[in-house]
Amino acid sequence: MENIHPLASVSPEARIGEGCTIGPFCVVEPDVEIGPGCVLESHVVIKSGTRIGSHNHIHEAAVLGAPPQHLRHPGPYGGVQLGSHNVIREHVTIHRALEADAATVVGDHNFLMVNVHIAHDCQVGSQVIMANNVMLGGHVVVGDAAYLGGAAAVHQFCRIGSVAMVGGQAHVNKDVPPFVTVDGLSSLVVGLNLVGLRRRGFSSEQIRQLKEAYRLIFCSGLPWEEMLHQLQLQFPDEPAACFHRFLQQTSRGILHQRRVPRAATIKLPTLPETQKHQRKAG
């Protein structure tokens, strides 16, 4: 038996699973499915075309299934599919897909913190963590177990690989390969996500293989096609083989590595040409 607060507005055409709790001032529109055991705190809005799995906890003022923010697409729109066992915190927004036969998809066991925005046609895997104010543009793909720090912004059509870590306030305008870390200040790759790999049980041998594949990608200086060929030859086994699969599908290219000389303790800024000439004249 579901527990629906008398101040909630739930359409009789919505399908609500057993054991759901719907708080005051929630709005559940027609053509909505909510699986068993879900909890909707107050002021949650679930709009038409949204399908929600079981045992999700959706906090205050989240809006799932709003139309896409797109000026030149009149609809009809697709839907939103949310898996099971997700935590959706306050003011999260997840928008419907542009086309009627498509869906914005979020998997299972994800943790979306306050004010996360997932735009139309995004595909988010499972066990993903997005900190406060993360913004995904349209058609973004996020792999399983990725972590996005606070206020990270991802350009439309970019991909974030599995077990990648994107630092807070990063501006991601190209693909982020799996298993790497992106520095939030520079928005560049700074190495493997070693902490995340160890926490997820990757063995020492697997991490060694990933390090070698990483060096081939970012440090070998090989042309792109030759680098892909060598990746496929040298690393046919998982998880390192994931690099080749991911990179050969990129359409936007990948973020570059940040290079800092090993001996440098303080990275001095490059002077503009006018200041260089002034120093020489002085």
120, 175, 184, 196: which one is catalytic? 120
**Nearest C-alpha neighbor of 40 from the set 56, 64, 16, 52:** 56
How far apart CA 165 and CA 152 sit, in angstroms, is 11
CB 20 within 8 A of CB 37: yes
For this structure, is 138 an active site residue? yes
- Comparing CA positions, the residue from 93, 31, 92, 45 lying closest to residue 68 is 93
Tokens of 222: 């090989």
Catalytic residue list contains 149:
no
Largest CA distance in the chain: 84
Helix (H/G/I), strand (E/B), else coil: 23: coil
Among positive and negative, which fits the CA dihedral 231, 234, 236, 238?
Answer: negative
Task: Note if 171 is an active site residue.
Answer: no
Q: Among 108, 121, 144, 175, which one carries the catalytic annotation?
A: 121
Q: Which of 35, 79, 138, 161 is flagged as catalytic?
A: 138
CA distances from 67 to 44, 80, 93, 95, 119 (A): 16, 10, 10, 6, 10
Q: Which of 14, 24, 23 is nearest to 51 (CA)?
A: 14
Catalytic positions, please? 120-121, 138
